[in-house]
Structure 1
């Protein structure tokens, strides 16, 4: 499969219409500026209308952009995005899909380049850790997956989840002003309630990392009453926490920018700074916790988090346990 990275004709046309700020521009002028035929312009205008852009067409005056849909479309994501890699390659947009990580893995196996982005307006089978469901209503959240191809040992891939969580936390704090924290290993909390989650999956080839897909589900404009009854207390959204709706595009851009920053640090061998930031945002070292795992429950005090994000837990008898995954509950006594 051939993956196109450069801005395509449709995106160039959209950017041109935006610059005109609602004024009509003639088909002849667009044709000359973009070096495409009048029939090609009409074809791309039709595609933009199908995506939800309100474009007024007049035989004598040309075309004018009237409104922009609240959709996470490629042209909207790239405009104002301050990255060099992530989001600069192909962007795959779905109105609905099973989940973006599944799509990302399929595209990665087909050769999608590093930095490619998968976006969905709705997921029918949104997933969290350990097969849990992520509630993914249409146009009310961000369901995104980034494809990366890091040249790191397989043993170091847990670092990707940590850096993605740090990136999400910093992006959300910057954009919303909310107090955001990380719950080990990959939940993002606002005022103690689950706002977002990170899911990293790895593709290997000959015991080496072929690709990683990092998915984020973020509850943006989900009203309290929309959550399923069993999720209404643990789950929250930016709308619930702030009392007002938020533009999804800028939230997504902010996460992609922070993700690229921390991914670059990882590749430069500077993971210590990422881990230090992660520890600060989790504030879990020294806490007494219970960890639920399949067939086992551990209780103890967190001694440290190692360079791969593994919890070092000290039980009451002094035994040290290395906890790679599990459900954590903070114990107050």
Structure 2
């Protein structure tokens, strides 16, 4: 898979972020974005309104007005009289300006980050953007989803400001039968991001559920537009439970779902998590472009906890139980039935049972 042909140009973080969209409106005015950039560079120190006005070439009254705008968006900006203004705190909201600040990517999140307070689903928005010709690396993120979806058309519970509900638009030069590699790459990126930022061990349950402490903390859903021999675009959707507490979950989910906050025993900052996931996804994407599919395969296997366990596989056609004996290089789950027969699954929802067994996996 070749690297993308060209990367979109990008400039100053705050000034570009000022133009990012939030459900059809502007998150920051351009002036507020510029003030935020200046205050961020002086984090912990006061800067006079006169100096900010000089740098922005506007009046001090305009500075006061747009500082108020930042406060309304959740930023802690203190005023110290003649001392001026100081940035004291940053809200735990997935504003494009915050995601881009320190984002270690070359193209993912560099073209556009579309931020919404609420959407039907981020995948739906990203699909529409794909149809409109949006560039590879476009990101859609929302504080809440009202119709979040998982595999088998199941709903995905997505409460406001508690998780990461995000989709990435990619345009890989892959054959349709190779797209599953992006599913594996995303699962590895999410699991690795959790392990890097938190004292937690995340695992993958086939095909791409992320578990912590045996409970589901994240899910991934890929949607593809393709012809027989050509992929037009792939929408990589991710849903991560981040700061929910047990009481936040519906009773029917509490036995099998958890959040990073519950597992870590403390609140988790969402913006660094988003940055880490996007950077990890891009690394895996470029790795595939360099022909490192074998490395990705080994990473996925090292994180997998499905193979070697008795499982139940649920598909749209029904359910089947047996021993998860392996995963093929095409991403298909190999199930050994009680009578010894072998059945393969390209997709499905897996429930784990029993302790791990170590079969001789081809």
TM-score by length of 1: 0.89
CA contact (8 A) 1:300 1:314 kept: yes
Residue in 2 that maps onto 1:291: 313
Gapped runs of 5+ residues in structure 2?
1-7, 16-29, 356-362
The size of the alignment, in residue pairs, is: 330
> 1 CA distance for matches of 2:82 and 2:305?
64
Residue in 2 that maps onto 1:121: 143
Gapped runs of 5+ residues in structure 1?
none
* Greater mean alpha carbon deviation, residues 298-307 or residues 117-126: 298-307
1:99 positional shift: 1.4
| In the alignment, structure 1 residue 25 sits paired with structure 2 residue 64 | no
The alpha-carbon distance between structure 1 residues 313 and 73, as it changes in their structure 2 partners (threshold 3 A), is same
Q: Secondary structure at the match of 2:167?
A: strand
Q: CA RMSD in A?
A: 2.6
CA contact (8 A) 1:161 1:186 kept: yes
CA contact (8 A) 2:199 2:264 kept: no
Residue in 1 that maps onto 2:115: 93
Give the counterpart of 2:257 among 229, 235, 258.
235
Q: Secondary structure at the match of 2:235?
A: strand
CA contact (8 A) 1:189 1:196 kept: yes
* Greater mean alpha carbon deviation, residues 39-48 or residues 263-272: 39-48
Q: Deviation per CA, 1:192-244, whole angstroms, max 9, x where unpaired?
A: 00111111111236752111111111111101011111111111011211221
CA contact (8 A) 1:5 1:90 kept: no
> 2 CA distance for matches of 1:27 and 1:111?
42
Counterparts of 1:1-333 in structure 2, within 5 Å, are 5-6=10-11, 7=13, 8=15, 9=30, 10-26=32-48, 29-34=51-56, 36-38=57-59, 45=67, 47-55=69-77, 63-204=85-226, 208-332=230-354
CA contact (8 A) 1:289 1:301 kept: yes
The alpha-carbon distance between structure 1 residues 182 and 70, as it changes in their structure 2 partners (threshold 3 A), is same
Q: Secondary structure at the match of 1:136?
A: coil
